[in-house]
Structure formats: C-alpha cells, structure tokens
A and B are shown apart, each in its own frame.
Chain A
Amino acid sequence: MDSAVAEASKTAVAAAAAQGGRTGGGGGSSGAGSGSSCGTGSSRSGLLDKWKIDDKPVKTDKWDGSAVKNSLDDSAKKVLLEKYKYVQNFGLTDGHLTLCTISCFFAIVALIWDYMHPFPESKPVLALCVISYFVMMGILTIYTSYKEKSILLVAHGKDPTGMGPDDIWQLSSSLKRFDDKYTLKLTFISGRTKQQREAEFTKSIAKFFDHSGTLVMDAYEPEISRLHDSLATERKIK
C-alpha cells in the first residue's frame, strides 16, 4: 500500500503540476529556438514527425490558440532561416535546457540517495536536494520571464564585408488567449554600431489562415519580408 500510496500521490501531484508545468513550459517552449517544426497542431502522425521540417502546407486547428501561434511562429522562423540564410543562435535555449537539466539532476540525486540510505538517515541530504530543486525552479522562472521573454529565435546575419561582428536578429511574438490579434516583432541589433531597431506588426490571424485552417504562406511571408526589409534598408541608408 505504501508504494501504491506514493504513486497515487505522485500521480495526483503530477496532474496538478502538469497544469502548472505546461503553462510554464509553454512560455519556454515557444521560446525554444528551433525552427524545425511545421507539422504541429492537430496532425497526430507520430512523435518525431511533429518536429520535422515540412514543405507541405501547414494545417492546424484554427480554434486552438496555441496551435495557431505555434504554426505562425514556426513559419516565421522558417522564413528568416531559409530565405535570408541566417544562422540560428541557440544560446537562450541552451541556457534553459541547462537549468532544467541541473534541476532534474538534483531530483535524481535525492532519489538515489534515499534509496541507498533509507529515510531517517537521508534526511539532511534530502532536505538539501529539495531546497536546491525549488531554488533552481525559481531561477528558471526568473530566466524564462526576464531573459527569454517571448523570444522565439535569435539569428546571426554575417557581415557583408566579411569582417566585423555579426548582426543579430531577434524574433518575438505574442498572441493573447482567445484573441485573434497576433503581434510579430523583429529586432535588429547591428554588429558594428550596436544600435538596436525594431519593427512589428499586429494583424488578425484571420488574414493568414484560410477557412480550413491551413496557413497561407503567400499572405504571411510578405509581411515578414516587409518587416525585415524595413530594418535592413534603414541600415543601408545610415
């Protein structure tokens, strides 16, 4: 009964944590700098297929806000990476992954130590691990809220002259719950002058999806290109 109780409690807590974990992970998930997926949303064809680069038009459940946002984000990343051939920088994602890995490491240490030295003796080590774990969770939350924010992608554009530091392009987006206005913001940080410029647009998602839920790249791509060019041309003038 003891192990059954433990598992039952863990399941109940896990279910509760899953609710909280998902929204926390959601903020980070959309910030995961990976431009690989176009097959998200309602396509249930296998685990890895969801994250492969897909040239087929993307079909999503148009009423599912998060699926819509994911497909818009992924397409925007795809445009920046493929059309302009920028190189993706995984710094933010790696930071997030490292923090999570350290937290899980503390949990595993606690588990193994408790198994080797049954409860009353393992109390100090357990207490240490539990406190460290929650401290790491706190750090992770701060990292997600302040450092990652809603950034989807950080990409480097090589300096045309071949010398000098790279320009940095940052893509971030937001789509409020149950709202149809999608905001995409592109930030350009020049490698040479270190100046920062941004451009954004807010449009209804209805402009980019047709009635069956397929993302129409012909309507979406020009918007992104316009943002990009508006930032790039300013650079040439200055």
Chain B
Amino acid sequence: MQERQLYYQVLNFGMIVSSALMIWKGLMVITGSESPIVVVLSGSMEPAFHRGDLLFLTNRVEDPIRVGEIVVFRIEGREIPIVHRVLKIHEKQNGHIKFLTKGDNNAVDDRGLYKQGQHWLEKKDVVGRARGFVPYIGIVTILMNDYPKFKYAVLFLLGLFVLVHRE
C-alpha cells in the first residue's frame, strides 16, 4: 500500500514534468522552430529589443527572408542563438539564399562573429523569425544562468514541494 502511494506521488511529479515537456515539444512542432522561445541576452538590438526580453519565434519554410527583417540564427559551433537584423541578401534562382546580419546597436556587421572563413549565413543556420515579444520577463532566465545555484535551488524546491505535498 505504501509503495502504491509512493509510486503515485512520483508519477504525479512525472506528470507535471511531462506536461511541461510536451507543451514545449508541441510548441516546437507548431512553430517549426527548434527553440520557439528565446531570451535576448545582449543589448545589441537596442532600442528594438532590450536585454531580458522574451521572443516568440516561428520558422515556417514559406516565409521568405528579406532585408530588414529580424532573424534569430545560430552560428556553427556555437550554442547560443543570436538575434540580429538582415543587412544584405544574395538570392539564387532556385531560392537558395546567403545573407549578412548586423545588430542595430553594433557598429559593424556580424562577419567578425561568424565562423573562421564564413562570410555569409544560410537558411539552415536560422532558428526562427521573431513574431512577438514580452518585455523583461526573460531576466529570470538570465539570473538563473548567471547564478546556477539559484536555478538548482528553484528546481529542487519545486520538486520537493510536489513530492511531499499531498493534496
């Protein structure tokens, strides 16, 4: 009987984690982007986006990338996506494009950030296009990143609370 109760509480916890996971994966499927929600980490896009803003992305194949649009891309070999604006595009007849980006608040374009020898970005590097944003909420993520102990403490407390509290 005890084992059942314990298994029940563990399952409860598992269900909550699974729900969060499924919502995230569901968003991934719906938007077509690997990372449908990102946080702006630097001030390179001010005054459009500030550090700590939360962005919602979509990555539909049909949307063409045009100059002046804001894209979120990932440079090969780097984990962190970058949010910048498209500056120049070279487009072939078959739809294959190469583009150059620059942050609004930066003095120079992003060539310095790209991989050694890479001068242009391609469609495959794009994580998504910003479709909506919520200001300031992402500061929590930045805090949790800067102070990993805070993150583990929050997750631990949440887990403990769900496992122990029996409603």
Residues of A whose CB lies within 8 Å of any CB of B are: 1-15, 17-18, 21-23, 25-26, 29-30, 32-37, 40, 44, 47-48, 50-52, 66, 70, 88, 90, 93, 96-97, 100-101, 103-104, 106-108, 110-111, 114, 118-120, 123, 126-127, 129-130, 133-134, 137
**Do B15 and A100 have beta carbons less than 8 Å apart?**
yes
**Do B21 and A21 have beta carbons less than 8 Å apart?**
no
| Known interface pairs A29-B167, A133-B18; A97-B7 also in contact (CB < 8 Å) | yes
In whole angstroms, what is the CA distance A114 to B29 when docked?
Answer: 11
**Do A13 and B145 have beta carbons less than 8 Å apart?**
no
Contacts of A120 in B (CB 8 A): 34
Contacts of B140 in A (CB 8 A): 8, 12
- Mark each residue of chain B from 115 to 148: 1 if its CB lies under 8 Å from any CB of chain A, else 0: 0000000000000000000000010110011000
Residue of B17, B19, B163 near A47 (CB, 8 A) is: B163
**Do A1 and B4 have beta carbons less than 8 Å apart?**
no
In whole angstroms, what is the CA distance A51 to B19 when docked?
Answer: 26
Contacts of B14 in A (CB 8 A): 100, 104
**Do B4 and A93 have beta carbons less than 8 Å apart?**
yes
Contacts of B7 in A (CB 8 A): 97
In whole angstroms, what is the CA distance A70 to B2 when docked?
Answer: 16
Residues of B whose CB lies within 8 Å of any CB of A are: 1-2, 4-8, 11-12, 14-26, 28-29, 32, 34-35, 37-39, 41, 74, 79-81, 138, 140-141, 144-145, 151, 154-155, 158, 161-167
**Do B167 and A90 have beta carbons less than 8 Å apart?**
no
Q: How far is the CB of A209 from chain B (nearest CB, A)?
A: 19
What are some 22 contacts across the A-B interface (CB < 8 A)? A1-B145, A5-B35, A8-B39, A8-B138, A14-B19, A18-B16, A21-B19, A25-B15, A29-B12, A34-B4, A37-B166, A47-B164, A70-B166, A97-B4, A101-B11, A104-B11, A104-B14, A107-B22, A110-B22, A114-B25, A129-B22, A130-B29
Residue of B6, B17, B28 near A119 (CB, 8 A) is: B28
